[in-house]
Structure 1
Amino acid sequence: MANPGGGAVCNGNLNNHKKQSGNCRKNGISKEAQQNGKPHFHKPIVESFEQAPLHVLVLTYLGYGIGTLFGHFRDFLRNWGIEKCNAAVEREEQKDFVPLYQDFENFYKRNLYIRVRDNWNRPICSAPGPLFDIMERVSDDYNWTFRFTGRVIKDVINMGSYNFLGLAAKYDDSMRTVKDVLETYGTGVSSTRQEMGNLDKHRELEDLVAKFLNVEAAMVFGMGFATNSMNIPALVGKGCLILSDELNHTSLVLGARLSGATIRTFKHNNAQNLEKHLRDAIIYGQPRTRRAWKKILILVEGIYSMEGSIVHLPQIVALKNKYKAYLYIDEAHSIGSVGPTGRGVVEFFGMDPRDIDVFMGTFTKSFGASGGYIAGRKELVDYLRVHSHSAVYATSMSPPISEQIIRSIKLIMGMDGTTEGIKRIQQLAKNTRYFRRRLSEMGFIIYGNEESPVIPVLLYMPSKVAAFARHLLERKIGVVVVGFPATPLVEARARICVSAAHTRKNLDTVLDALDEMGDLLGLKYSRQRKSTRPQLCDETDYEPDD
C-alpha cells in the first residue's frame, strides 16, 4: 500500500515511509497491541506522505542557499551604511552581553521572511465565510511596512480559514439568542472564574460540552492556546514524564515545558517508536535515581494542523492501556470536523470516550467562536477548577461567546429541532473527499488523511511559495502559505482548509485555478498521479448548489 517513493501509508511518519513490520493493517492495531490493550473496530487509516523527487529537493536547497548568500551580502551593505536596515537592531553596548535576538532567526527574518511577508497577516474586513473581503495593502520599503490603499478586494474565496462548518457567519435570525445574551450580560465578565466571573452561562455550556463528548464533566476557558499551556502544568510536574508527538502544536510544547516534567518526543504517529519510549520509561525510570516516574502522560493531537494527518488513536490507546500511562488529546482541529456526528477522532474510530484520560479542544474552529475546554472524569475537572492557572488568573469567557458556542453545539447535536448540523458535517466530509481526489488527480503532492479537511499542498521552493499566494489572490482566491520555521526547511506548503459552506462552484473555481497554477509554476511533483476517470470523483457526494 505504500512504497519509499510515496503514496498512501497506514502506519509511519514523515521521515520514514517504509512499510513497518507486517503489512499496513486495516484496523491499525498490531497483534501485540490487541493482546495487551483494548482492540476497537474502526476505519482503515489511509494517509499520504509522498516524498518529492530528488531534483525538487536539490533545487529547494539551492534556492535557500542563494537566498542566504544574498542575505549576507546585503547585511554587509547595511553594516557599511550603503543600504538602510529597517529591522529591529540592538544597541551596540548590549550586543556583547545579553543578545536580545537569536542570530540566525534574526538573519532569516531580515533577509528571507521579509521578502514574502506580504503573503501573511492580510487584514480581513468581513466575516470568514466561504467568501470574504480583504483590505489591499502595498509596501514602499520591500515589505518592512505596509500602507492601506483604500481599496477592498471583494468576494475572495476563503480557502485558509478553520471555519469548517461555516458557523462563523454574518448575523442572521439564528443568532438572536447571542444578541439577547449580549444585552443581558454585556460584552465581558472582567473577572476570573474563581472570583466574580463564574456565570450560569458557563455552567450551561460546560454541561452541554460534557453531554456532547459523552464524558462526566467539562470546564471551559476563554483562550484556546492557554487551555493547553496553562493546564498541562497543573496535571504533571517534576518527576513526571511527558511523551509528546514531534509535530505537536506550540501550545502543547509550551505547556509541557512550563510543567517542569521531563519531555521526550516520539516520531509522528509512530506507535513502534512510542512503545520504545514507554518500555524504556518503565524499565529504567527516572535518570540517575532510577525511581519510577510519578506519571507518564502521552500528548497527541486529533488532526495535525500542518500535516493534515489524523492521530492513530487505536494504537496509542492500546499502548496507553498496556503501559498504564495517561493520554491527553488535543482536538482543536478535529472536534466538530470529523466523525459521523462531529464528535472528533474518538467517534471517527468508533472508540469509547472512557479510553481517553484528558479531552482538550477549542471553540475557535468548527464552532465559530473562541476559547477552549478540558473534559473527562469529574475528579479531573474538579481538580482543575482549583489548580488551573487559567481558572485562577485568566478572565473568564465572554457571555456572548458562550452563547455562540451553545448555539453551535445545539445545532450540531440537532437540539435546535433541525437537521442542519448533521447536514453540514456530511457536506464537509463530501467537500473534503472531492477536493483531495481532484488535487491527487492533477498531480499535486498533498499530505494527510483522506478525510482530513486540512489539506497541505506541497510547494517546496521558497520563490514558488510567494508566487503561489500572490497569483491566487489576483484570481480572488485566498490561501495560507507556510514555510520555515513552521515547517521543515524543504517542505514549504499551502495549507488549504475546506469548509461545509463551500459550494461545488467555489471548489471547482479554486481547483481550476490550482490546476493552472500548478502548470505555470511547475508544482505537480507527484509520481503517484491517480486516474482522472470521472467516476472516481464521486459526483453523487454533492447536492445541487443553492
Structure 2
Amino acid sequence: MAKTATPAATAEGKKAAAPSKDHDVETVPLVAAFLCYFNFAILLTFGRIRDFFGWWSGYSRYKGSGKDRRPGVADMFIAWENFYTNRIYHRVQDVFNRPVASAPGARIDVIKRISTDGNKSMTWTNETQSCTNLGSYNYLGFADDWMGTCAGMVLPHVQTHTVCSNSPSAEFGTTPIHAELEKIVAEFVGKEDAIVYNMGYGTNSASIPALMGPGTLVLSDALNHTSIVNGVRASGATVSVFKHNSAKHLEVMLRTKIAAGQPRTHRPWKKIFVIVEGIYSMEGEICKLRPIVDVAKKYKAYIYVDEAHSIGALGATGRGICEYAAVDPSEIDILMGTFTKSFGGMGGYIAASKDIIAMLKHTSSGHLMGTSLAPVVAAQVLAAFKVIMGRDGTTIGATKLKALRDNSNFLRQGLMDIGMVTLGQFDSPVIPVMLYSISKIAEFNRQCLARNMAVVTVGFPATPLLLGRVRFCVSAAHTRADLEAALANLAQVAKICHIRFQKHAFG
C-alpha cells in the first residue's frame, strides 16, 4: 500500500494513497486467522474440561449459572450463551463497559475497577484515571467547550421547560423549541420538513415500519446498522441484502427482484427502498452515494440514507454525505440522522418532503407513543446547529469542521505508518483498526489504558469471529499534541500486541 511521507501530508495526496481496505473473512492474514482459531480452540477445550469436572465433582463457581431454580421453568439462557459468558467473556470483561466520571471530551476520567473473583464480577473503586479519549462520538468537540459555545442558549430552557416533557410529541410533548429544531434541521440538510425523535436508534426502528410494509421490497447494504435491520424486520417488508457499497451488485439485485415480483403471487412490488449509511460506524467507510443513487433512480426506487455518523462530520459545511459526494439532497427521498455524534445531544431526525413528514407524524410509533425529545436537549442540538452554521456570529463551527477533518486524516495516516490494518477512508472520523484475535482485543485495550488512553474494542459476537477490532473516534477537540502522543503510545502497543500486519506477516 502506498503511503505519504508524513501524517501532515495533504488530504488529497493521502486519499489517493489509501484505498478502502476490504474486511471480509477472506482478507484476514493467515497468521492472524490461525492464532484466532487457536485461541478459541484452547478456550473451548479447557472450558469444556472444567465444566465436566465441575459437574462431576459437584463444585464449580458457575454452578447453577443461567439456570432457573423454579421447578418446571425453562432456563433463561441456552447452553452456548451460558458457556460463552462464563468461560470466555468473563476473562476479558474488564476491557468492556468501562464506567466514566466526566464529560466525554478529548480527555475522559475512567473509573477504576477491581475484581476479587477472577473477573467474574467487577467492583467500582473511588479512583479515576484521566485518559485521552479515543472512543466517544464527540466529533465536533461540544463536550469540551460547551460552556463557551452552547450553554448560553441552553440553560434558559432548563428554567422554562425543566428537563423532561413528560408526554409524547403527539400529545403535550411539542414545544416551540422542538418546532424550531425541526425547521432548522430541514433547512440544514436541504429538505422541506423534518421530524425529531428522542433516540437515534429509535429513529430508524420507529420510522421504517411506518414507511414500509408487506409488499415493499427493501435493498439493504450488507453492513447497515442494527437499528435499520430491526426496523425493516418489524415492518414486514421483504428484504434483500446487497454487497457492501456495491452499486453493481445493487443493480443486479434490483433487476432480479423486480423481475420475480412478490413472493408466491409474483405481483409487482408496491414500492421499493434502497437503504444505505453515510458513514458505516464499524468500518469507517464512506458511502459511494453517487453510483448508488443513479442505480436507485434507474429502477424507480426510493432512497433512504442514514447519516448518523456523517451529518455534521462530512462536507465543507458539515451537511453530510450529500454535500461530500456532490449529490443534491433533492435526489434523496429520506434523510435520517442523529444528534448524538456531532451535536453534543441525543435523539434523531427524519428529513423529507412535507407529505412524508406529515404521514410519519400520524403513523410513527416513536412520535405517537414515545416521550418527546427533552426540551433542554432540543435546545442543545439547536444551539449546535447555530454554531455549525455560523449563526452564533462566530467562525467556531467552521473551525471545528476543519479541525475534525485534519485530526481524522492525521491519526489515520499515523496508524497506517505504524503498520496497522485500518478500515475506511480519509475524512472519516471513525477509524477501525483490525486486531482479529480476542486475546489481542483484551491486551490491546489493557495496554492502552496503562498508557492513559481510553479506547473501544469490539469482538465476537458483535463482529464475526475473525474480525475483532478497535474503533478510534476522532474529535475536533483533540490537539495535535494529543494525537502525536497517542500515536507514539499506539506504536508501542502495536509492537507488544503484534498487530502491525501491514509490515510484518506475524504482526
TM tier, smaller: over 0.9
Matched, 1:164 2:174: no
Task: Give yes or no for contact 1:46–1:450 (8 Å, CA) kept in 2.
Answer: no
Describe the shift of the 1:510–1:270 C-alpha distance in structure 2 as closer, same or farther (beyond 3 A).
same
Partner of 1:400: 376
Partner of 2:92: 116
Partner of 2:8: none
Which secondary structure does the structure 1 equivalent of 2:476 belong to? Answer: coil
Deviation at 1:94, TM superposition (A): 7.2
Distance in structure 2 (CA, Å) of the matches to 1:378 and 1:332: 21
Partner of 1:35: none
Describe the shift of the 1:522–1:528 C-alpha distance in structure 2 as closer, same or farther (beyond 3 A).
closer
Distance in structure 2 (CA, Å) of the matches to 1:406 and 1:142: 47
Matched, 1:334 2:310: yes
Partner of 1:534: none
Partner of 1:83: 60
Deviation at 1:520, TM superposition (A): 1.4
Deviation at 1:63, TM superposition (A): 1.2
Deviation at 1:434, TM superposition (A): 1.0
Deviation at 1:112, TM superposition (A): 1.3
Q: 2:270 aligns with which of 294, 300, 309?
A: 294
Deviation at 1:52, TM superposition (A): 3.5
Task: Give yes or no for contact 1:130–1:499 (8 Å, CA) kept in 2.
Answer: yes
Q: 1:250 aligns with which of 179, 202, 226?
A: 226
Distance in structure 1 (CA, Å) of the matches to 2:328 and 2:63: 55
Task: Spell out, residue by residue over 1:457-480, the C-alpha distance to the aligned partner (whole angstroms, 9 max, x if none).
Answer: 111111111011111101110000
Partner of 1:31: none
1:91-102 to 2 correspondence within 5 Å? 91=68, 100-102=76-78
Which secondary structure does the structure 1 equivalent of 2:434 belong to? Answer: strand
Distance in structure 2 (CA, Å) of the matches to 1:296 and 1:76: 53
Task: Give yes or no for contact 1:243–1:266 (8 Å, CA) kept in 2.
Answer: yes
Q: 2:401 aligns with which of 425, 449, 460?
A: 425
Describe the shift of the 1:170–1:431 C-alpha distance in structure 2 as closer, same or farther (beyond 3 A).
closer
Distance in structure 1 (CA, Å) of the matches to 2:86 and 2:220: 32
Partner of 1:38: none
Partner of 1:461: 437
Deviation at 1:79, TM superposition (A): 2.8
Partner AA of 2:249 in structure 1? N
Matched, 1:442 2:418: yes
Which secondary structure does the structure 2 equivalent of 1:136 belong to? Answer: strand
Distance in structure 1 (CA, Å) of the matches to 2:443 and 2:394: 44
Describe the shift of the 1:317–1:515 C-alpha distance in structure 2 as closer, same or farther (beyond 3 A).
same
- Unpaired runs of 5+ in structure 2? 4-11
Q: 2:41 aligns with which of 65, 73, 80?
A: 65
Task: Spell out, residue by residue over 1:375-420, the C-alpha distance to the aligned partner (whole angstroms, 9 max, x if none).
Answer: 0111110110100001110000111101100110011111111111
Describe the shift of the 1:148–1:409 C-alpha distance in structure 2 as closer, same or farther (beyond 3 A).
same
Q: 1:197 aligns with which of 167, 170, 173?
A: 173
Partner of 2:260: 284
Matched, 1:221 2:197: yes
Matched, 1:234 2:207: no
Deviation at 1:109, TM superposition (A): 2.3
Deviation at 1:143, TM superposition (A): 2.3
Partner AA of 1:318 in structure 2? D
Distance in structure 2 (CA, Å) of the matches to 1:86 and 1:312: 51
- Unpaired runs of 5+ in structure 1? 1-5, 9-25, 27-42, 530-546
Deviation at 1:523, TM superposition (A): 1.0
Distance in structure 2 (CA, Å) of the matches to 1:523 and 1:145: 29
Distance in structure 1 (CA, Å) of the matches to 2:447 and 2:503: 25
Deviation at 1:44, TM superposition (A): 11
Partner of 1:49: 22
Matched, 1:414 2:390: yes
Partner of 1:21: none
Aligned residues: 490
Describe the shift of the 1:230–1:504 C-alpha distance in structure 2 as closer, same or farther (beyond 3 A).
same
Which secondary structure does the structure 2 equivalent of 1:192 belong to? Answer: coil
Distance in structure 2 (CA, Å) of the matches to 1:130 and 1:104: 39
438-447 or 134-143, which deviates more: 134-143
Deviation at 1:255, TM superposition (A): 0.3
Distance in structure 1 (CA, Å) of the matches to 2:102 and 2:44: 38
Describe the shift of the 1:528–1:252 C-alpha distance in structure 2 as closer, same or farther (beyond 3 A).
farther
Matched, 1:136 2:112: yes
81-90 or 472-481, which deviates more: 81-90
Describe the shift of the 1:473–1:261 C-alpha distance in structure 2 as closer, same or farther (beyond 3 A).
same
Task: Spell out, residue by residue over 1:278-313, the C-alpha distance to the aligned partner (whole angstroms, 9 max, x if none).
Answer: 001111101111101111111111111111111111
102-111 or 369-378, which deviates more: 102-111
Distance in structure 2 (CA, Å) of the matches to 1:446 and 1:199: 44
Distance in structure 2 (CA, Å) of the matches to 1:390 and 1:465: 36
Task: Give yes or no for contact 1:327–1:357 (8 Å, CA) kept in 2.
Answer: yes
1:320-359 to 2 correspondence within 5 Å? 320-359=296-335
Distance in structure 1 (CA, Å) of the matches to 2:71 and 2:194: 48
Distance in structure 2 (CA, Å) of the matches to 1:363 and 1:519: 37
Distance in structure 2 (CA, Å) of the matches to 1:335 and 1:88: 44
Distance in structure 1 (CA, Å) of the matches to 2:62 and 2:145: 43
Task: Give yes or no for contact 2:220–2:274 (8 Å, CA) kept in 1.
Answer: yes
Task: Spell out, residue by residue over 1:250-298, the C-alpha distance to the aligned partner (whole angstroms, 9 max, x if none).
Answer: 1111101100111111111122221111001111101111101111111
**What's the % identity of the aligned pairs?**
44
Partner AA of 2:29 in structure 1? P
Deviation at 1:348, TM superposition (A): 0.4
102-111 or 466-475, which deviates more: 102-111
Could you tell me the TM-score, scaled by structure 2's length? 0.93
Which secondary structure does the structure 1 equivalent of 2:280 belong to? Answer: coil
Distance in structure 2 (CA, Å) of the matches to 1:278 and 1:445: 33
Matched, 1:489 2:482: no
Task: Give yes or no for contact 1:87–1:110 (8 Å, CA) kept in 2.
Answer: no
Distance in structure 2 (CA, Å) of the matches to 1:441 and 1:94: 60
Matched, 1:186 2:159: no
Task: Give yes or no for contact 2:66–2:75 (8 Å, CA) kept in 1.
Answer: no
Partner of 2:498: 522
Deviation at 1:200, TM superposition (A): 0.8
Could you tell me the TM-score, scaled by structure 1's length? 0.86
164-173 or 486-495, which deviates more: 164-173
Deviation at 1:87, TM superposition (A): 7.6
Distance in structure 2 (CA, Å) of the matches to 1:161 and 1:141: 30
Partner AA of 2:22 in structure 1? F
Matched, 1:509 2:482: no
Deviation at 1:118, TM superposition (A): 0.8
Partner AA of 1:85 in structure 2? Y
Partner of 1:477: 453
Describe the shift of the 1:360–1:45 C-alpha distance in structure 2 as closer, same or farther (beyond 3 A).
farther
Distance in structure 1 (CA, Å) of the matches to 2:296 and 2:504: 35
Partner of 1:544: none
Query: Over aligned residue pairs, what C-alpha RMSD do you find?
Result: 2.2
Which secondary structure does the structure 2 equivalent of 1:231 belong to? Answer: helix
Deviation at 1:46, TM superposition (A): 3.9
Deviation at 1:453, TM superposition (A): 0.9
